[in-house]
Amino acid sequence: MRITIDLYVKAADAGEISALRQVAFRLAKAGRLEEALVWYERAADAGDTDALREAAERLVKAGRLDEALVWWQRAADAGHTVALREAASRLAKADRLEEALVWYERAADAGDTDALFQAAVELAKAGRLDEALAWWQRSADAGDTIPQRRAAAELAYVGRWDEALA
């Protein structure tokens, strides 16, 4: 492992931008997250904005969700709006649905219509069907056809047949 990291470090020092993230990836995989974050930062500074999202995922795996949110925000600021949805999804999985909804809304505002659908799914899982229906409607209004079927299925599941068949 050490030889591989050394080779990537040499490539990075020679100006190979993709090597910066490879060093970070290998350090993180070796359990050296703090060192990896320095390399993810270098990669991002060199223009590899995917490094921001990768660093966020590594932080989540280490149980550091709040720190990961900062990296996802930076990725979104750099043009990766899907990072907003990724952050929302992780917040929802951590039972922080209210915060997740804020991030889903921001993702939708940035043009990520999949965020509307995912927010609805999370609300439905939380038993908040009426709120989920509103998000599914927004997703359908944005041109997605799947929300209509999902909303009908959820309504039927809870016995609201008249609405499901409408």
Mark whether 53 and 94 lie in a shared domain: no
φ, ψ (nearest 5 deg) of residue 112: -90, 90
The pTM (predicted TM-score) of the whole model is: 0.84
User: How many other C-beta atoms can be found within 10 angstroms of the C-beta atom of residue 114?
Assistant: 16
CATH number of the domain that residue 19 is part of? 1.25.40.10
Number of domains in the chain: 2
Record the tokens describing residue 52, joined without a space.
């921001």
**Of the candidates 27, 49, 80, which is a domain's last residue?**
80
Mark whether 20 and 75 lie in a shared domain: yes
Instruction: List the pLDDT tens digit at each of the 166 positions of the chain.
Output: 565 666 666 766 666 778 888 889 989 999 999 999 999 999 999 999 999 999 999 999 999 999 999 999 999 999 999 999 999 999 999 999 999 999 999 999 999 999 999 999 999 999 999 999 999 999 989 888 887 888 888 888 888 888 877 7
Record the tokens describing residue 135, joined without a space.
């998000």
SS3 40: helix
The DSSP string of 83-94 is HHHHHHHHHHHT
Mark whether 46 and 107 lie in a shared domain: no
Helices (H) and strands (E) in the chain, counts: 11, 0
Name the residue range of residue 29's domain.
Answer: 1-80
